[in-house]
Structure 1
Amino acid sequence: MTRPLQLAACIALAALPFAALAQESVAAPEATDAGSAENGRMLTYTCQGCHGVANYVNAYPNYRVPKIGGQSQEYLINALTEYKRGTRRHPTMQAQASSFSDQDIADIAAFLSSLNP
């Protein structure tokens, strides 16, 4: 089963500051109690398409996309869970989050929270 928007995110990945992370030969981030940062690293390639591009603005509605690297695990878990449940609304984020398991969300939060903002 494929996740929504993978192609668009993969295309955008080439212009990301996070791209260097995938090429580094340093040790991968360690797992935390809330999730596996290494697994989260693999799952966030779709997130980077919008959240990793400096000064990126969506086509409509016209707004800046927030940076998510360095956010707290609690915030990230809450936000993704709310998008998944539909209690926080944004069509792209709801489509992305609906494909994530609770473990995926914990892993994504573990990785993103380990990054420097």
Structure 2
Amino acid sequence: MKKLLTVVVLGATAMAAQAQEVKGNVDAAKNKVAMCIGCHGIPGYRASFPEVYEVPLLGGQNAKYIENALKEYQKGDRKHPTMRGIAATLSDQDIADVAAYYAQQKPDSQNNTQK
């Protein structure tokens, strides 16, 4: 019985650790956002594949929104092929870092690598 209780407690502890939210690191993201700036750093930019798509600037966007969007691209719930490909390469920590980076910017920062 004692062993069973230990296994249950360890299992619950492991599940709680997995459920903890990953914290974004703005400084770590500075080396990760280069892939974003080529499209999301150009005011008024439109991508033309697979259809004309207005690319949003990300500065000042809510971090949770960015995290959710990237995870939706990973799962295939959002369909833009370029974003799906990029999101597929990101870890949960990468996503949290990028989201924190853009959330701390001002909307008029144009997503530069400098604040």
Match status 1:65 vs 2:67: no
Say how many residue pairs are matched: 85
Partner of 2:38: 49
| 1:104 alignment partner AA | D
Partner of 2:101: 111
TM-score by length of 1: 0.69
From the CA coordinates, give the structure whose radius of gyration is larger: 2
| 1:54 alignment partner AA | P
Distance across 2 between alignment mates of 1:40 and 1:90: 23
Distance across 1 between alignment mates of 2:74 and 2:59: 20
Structure 2, unmatched stretches of 5+, are 1-21, 108-115
Distance across 1 between alignment mates of 2:70 and 2:94: 10
Give the CA RMSD over aligned residues: 1.2
Pick aligned residue for 2:81 from 83, 91, 95 = 91
| 1:71 alignment partner AA | Q
What CA deviation, in whole Å up to 9, does each residue of 1:65-108 have, x standing for no partner? 11111101110110011111111111000000000000000000
Q: Which runs of 4+ in 1 moved over 3 A?
A: none
Structure 1, unmatched stretches of 5+, are 1-32
